[in-house]
Amino acid sequence: MTDNDGNLVFCSDEEEQAPQSESRRGFLKLAALSGAVATLSTRRALANGDTAFHAKDLPDDKLIDMYRTILKIRWHERTQADQMLGNPDYRGYNHFYAGQEAVATGVCAALRNDGPFEQIDLVYSTHRPSGHAIAKGVDIPTMVAEMDFRATGMNGGYAAEMHISDPSVGFVGADGMIGPGHVTATGSAFAFRARGSDQVSVVFGGDGTYATPQFHSALNNAKLLDLPFIYVLENNLYHQYAHYTYSCPHRDIADAATAYGIPARVVDGQDVMQVYNAAKEAVDRARAGGGPGFIEAKTYRYYNHWGAPGAKEGELGAFGYDPLAITSFRPEREVRAWMQRDPVDIARNILVDWGVVDEARATEIEDEVKTEITAAFEWGLAQPLCTPEDGLKHVFAEGTVLPRQFG
Nearest residue (CB) to ligand TPP, 72 versus 95: 95
b/e map 207-233, b = 16+ CB within 10 Å: bbbbebebbbebbebbbebebbbbbbb
Nearest residue (CB) to ligand TPP, 305 versus 330: 305
Nearest residue (CB) to ligand TPP, 236 versus 383: 236
> What's the closest the beta carbon of residue 180 comes to ligand TPP, in angstroms?
8
> Of these partners, Mg ion, ligand TPP, none, which one is at the site of residue 150 (CB under 5 to 8 Å by kind)?
none
DSSP state of 201: E
Nearest residue (CB) to Mg ion, 153 versus 206: 206
Nearest residue (CB) to ligand TPP, 94 versus 236: 236
**Cβ–Cβ < 8 Å for 389, 152:** no
Nearest residue (CB) to Mg ion, 137 versus 343: 343
Binding residues with ligand TPP: total (CB under 6 A): 15
Binding residues with Mg ion: total (CB under 5 A): 4
> What's the closest the beta carbon of residue 304 comes to Mg ion, in angstroms?
12
181 torsion bin: left (phi>0), alpha (psi -120 to 50), beta (else): alpha
Q: Is residue 9 a contact residue for ligand TPP (CB under 6 A)?
A: no
b/e map 345-361, b = 16+ CB within 10 Å: ebbbebbeeeebbeeee
HSE at residue 189, side-chain half, CA atoms within 13 A, is 33
x-marked contacts with Mg ion along 232-271 as a string, rule CB under 5 A: ----x--x--------------------------------
DSSP H helical ranges for 87-149: 101-108, 130-136, 140-147
- Site residues for ligand TPP, window 273-332 (CB under 6 A)? 305
DSSP secondary structure of 225-270: TT-SEEEEEEE-SEETTEEGGGT-S-SSTHHHHHHTT--EEEEETT
> What's the closest the beta carbon of residue 210 comes to ligand TPP, in angstroms?
8
Q: Is residue 343 a contact residue for ligand TPP (CB under 6 A)?
A: no
Nearest residue (CB) to Mg ion, 103 versus 286: 103
> Of these partners, ligand TPP, Mg ion, none, which one is at the site of residue 44 (CB under 5 to 8 Å by kind)?
none
Q: Name the segment binding Mg ion (CB under 5 A); options: 96-104, 118-126, 207-215, 290-298.
A: 207-215
b/e map 151-174, b = 16+ CB within 10 Å: bbbbbbbbbbbbebbbeebbbbbb
Of 136, 134, 84, the C-alpha closest to 369 is 134
How many whole angstroms separate alpha carbon 191 and alpha carbon 187?
Answer: 6
| Cβ atoms within 10 Å, residue 32 | 16
Q: Is residue 236 a contact residue for ligand TPP (CB under 6 A)?
A: yes
x-marked contacts with ligand TPP along 120-139 as a string, rule CB under 6 A: -------xx-----------
**Cβ–Cβ < 8 Å for 273, 281:** no
- Site residues for ligand TPP, window 176-215 (CB under 6 A)? 176-179, 206-209
Angle formed by the axes of helices 180-195 and 213-224, nearest 10°:
20
Which residue has its beta carbon closest to ligand TPP? 206
Nearest residue (CB) to Mg ion, 68 versus 128: 128
Which residues of this chain interact with ligand TPP, rule CB under 6 A? 127-128, 176-179, 206-209, 236, 238-240, 305
Which residues of this chain interact with Mg ion, rule CB under 5 A? 206-207, 236, 239
